[in-house]
Amino acid sequence: MADRHTGTHGHVPVMLERMVELIAPTVAESSESSALSVILDGTLGAGGHTEAFLERFPWAMVIGVDRDKKELSRTTERLSRFRDRFYPVHARFDNFDEALDDADHPVVDAFHAHGISAGFFDLGVSSMQLDQVDRGFTYRDDGPLDMRMDTSTGKTAADVLNTYSHGELARILKTYGDERFAGPLARAIVREREKEPWTTSQRLVDLIYATIPASARRHGGHPAKRTFQALRVEVNAELDALRRVIPKVCSYLHLGGRAVFMSYQSLEDKIVKRELAELTESKTPPGLPIDLPNSAPDFHLVTRGSEKADEQENNKNPRAHSVRVRAVERTGYSHSSPPPGGTSVRASGSSTTYSARSESRHEAHPTGREQLVSSAQQSISHREDVEGEQ
């Protein structure tokens, strides 16, 4: 079954069956109650996981978010048979709710009225982006030093290399790439840009080879891997976006809803682990036998530590080797974290207003969930009738 979800460029979704299994309980619950579940795919990419969700759960709807306009357009076309149950959004994943504020679609109506059943995030750069040499993500082929996931806005990797100070370059190489030779590399980058501005990736790869000692190049994979990772993370503000989206997406989960995160490098996994630990931690002072009122955690961990791909998955899909999966489930609502549809939600310990539109949505649909589900189901039925006549 997984072979059907190869997406574009032969991309094979990582741990597809396990991802379906992780979100199935909350989506199945909605099926049993004749309600439509909304799944948020914050990293749509080629849409392999989303395609599986839509096929396995025919009562579910998916909001697919991606920063890459071209990839979003291709995937939307590929998933066009689900257009009544799928809504694409061009945005950075931590801005998903703001991007939906003025949208008009049954999926968006369901989101604003009742939140989501599941949030799903397959983090990092996609295989399709790595395969496109003109995007500049790969160190194996020469291309422009771009590295933007959204090519319509923001600074490029060349901008970083040509404008950041020695100290700033050393910091990002060390912090985001865990590069032992961050200082020497930063000095070499600054020295070389005085001769000629940075524009292409092969020149940077050559500099890295020339700067890192031969003995150090023999271990730890390709010597340019850490520098390219650091530049990509800086250009796209990936870690900042991840820190923001975890508490935000969890605030939109309804009771029993789950959020699942797939990380491929240690910096991402550390952030996911820390944020989920905060969400699942009791606020009762240590030593008390029971949780104080409004102190019990609203979430509990679904995974024990991080899950890894098994040998069969690794053999089938090399990208799975480094994946780490963590998931949480919503089990309650504290005073500072009301149900979806409210306006104030907890975000890393503070109270933040993410969207006031949910109140107007309730006013616009006074009959609530039943009318919303009926409207969406009528839309789907109408679409099926039209296709049957053709």
**378 annotated as belonging to a binding site for a ligand:** no
Q: What is the DSSP string of 71-88?
A: HHHHHHHHTGGGTTTEEE
- Assess contact for 138 and 126: CB atoms under 8 A: no
Bridge partners, 299 (sequence order):
330
How many CB atoms sit inside 10 A of residue 282's CB?
13
> Cα dist. 336→311, 343, 346, 364 in Å?
43, 11, 6, 26
Helix (H, G, I), strand (E, B) or coil at 138: coil
User: Which residues, at least 6 apart from 379, have a Cβ–Cβ distance to it below 8 Å?
Assistant: 84, 106
Task: Tell whether residue 178 is among the known ligand binding residues.
Answer: no
49 is in an annotated binding site: yes
Assess contact for 124 and 263: CB atoms under 8 A: yes
209 SS3 class: helix
Is 93 annotated as a binding-site member? yes
Helix (H, G, I), strand (E, B) or coil at 65: strand
Is 122 assigned a ligand-binding role in the annotation?
yes
What one-letter code names the amino acid at 59? W
48 is in an annotated binding site: yes
With contact defined as beta carbons under 8 Å apart, do 319 and 326 qualify? no
Edge-first strand listing for the sheet containing 116-122: 86-90, 61-66, 38-41, 116-122, 253-263, 324-330, 299-301
User: Please, are residues 61 and 103 in contact by the beta-carbon 8 Å criterion?
Assistant: no
Which residue ranges make up the annotated binding site for S-adenosyl-L-methionine? 47-49, 66, 93, 122, 129
